[in-house]
A = this chain, B = another copy of it.
Amino acid sequence: MSKPLILVTNDDGITAPGLRTLIDVMRQLGDVFVVAPDSPQSSMGHAITLDSTLYSKKIRTAAESADVEEYSCSGTPADCVKLALQELLPRRPDICVSGINHGSNSSINVIYSGTMSAAVEAGIEGIPAIGFSLCDYNWEADFEPSRPFVKTIVSEALLHGIPNDVVLNVNIPKVAEGKIKGIKVCRQAKANWKEKFDKRTNPMGRDYYWLTGVFELLDKGEDTDEWALSQGYVSVVPTQFDLTAYHAIQDVNNWNFNER
């Protein structure tokens, strides 16, 4: 039986240590094909490049070998997946994995996540897809404790498949090796960011802002990703791109649309 073909991407860019870890773990499971942004694309959401050009470059690395091919791309994470599927891959991949992101994509962060947008893009194309994130924004974050969990989850996804029109959002707590308690399948916790704009004046005298904020959890449920992470578990949230709020259709149907 031929080895699975695994498409690997991320949003922190081709040089990110989290991507390097993911490539390394995926080489244990199949042939690895990397298409990742040539520069960091964090908090890009599901942006795509329509009004400008896309470049892609075959990357030579010291680690290059028969089972890994690597390309960089000038676009967003979603662009990387589109370009990989249409132009670069030799055949349809068996799975697409994105990450490991430097920083959490749990709870409402999924909405802003370039890591997850790459996974969603693959999911829209009918390819099983998983986004991985470590809850540590540091570039020198320790990805070692993540390895066995990433391997288990991708192995199981290759074995069972992922339900149609669903992609997995996996977050890994920032705890020392051996301290992760296990894996929990969760729902997305309700939360938002309490924004604070740091207003400054530039050398030319013009005001500008930096966006900063504090994460505000609005959900005490013990079935949420935030709860699992706080207890030292890896969280797995099945995530969909049918955004219809079915429960609200009936409500809005009672509005009076005939008055104008």
Enumerate chain A interface residues (CB-CB to B < 8 A): 40, 42-51, 53-56, 78-79, 82-83, 85-87, 108, 110-112, 117, 120, 124-125, 148-149, 151-153, 155-157, 159-160, 162-163, 165-166, 168-169, 182-183, 185-188, 190, 192, 195-197, 199, 202, 206-211, 236-249, 251-260
**By DSSP majority rule, is chain A's interface helix, strand, loop, or mixed?**
mixed
Known: A82-B195, A160-B255. 11 other contacts (CB 8 A): A43-B49, A45-B78, A54-B209, A56-B209, A83-B209, A86-B197, A87-B199, A162-B248, A188-B244, A238-B248, A240-B248
Copy number of this protein in the oligomer? 2
CB-CB under 8 A from A56, the residues of chain B are: 207, 209
With A85-B195, A197-B87 as known contacts, state yes or no: A185 contacts B249, CB within 8 Å. yes
CB-CB under 8 A from A153, the residues of chain B are: 257
Query: Is the pair B260, A166 in contact by a Cβ cutoff of 8 Å?
Result: no
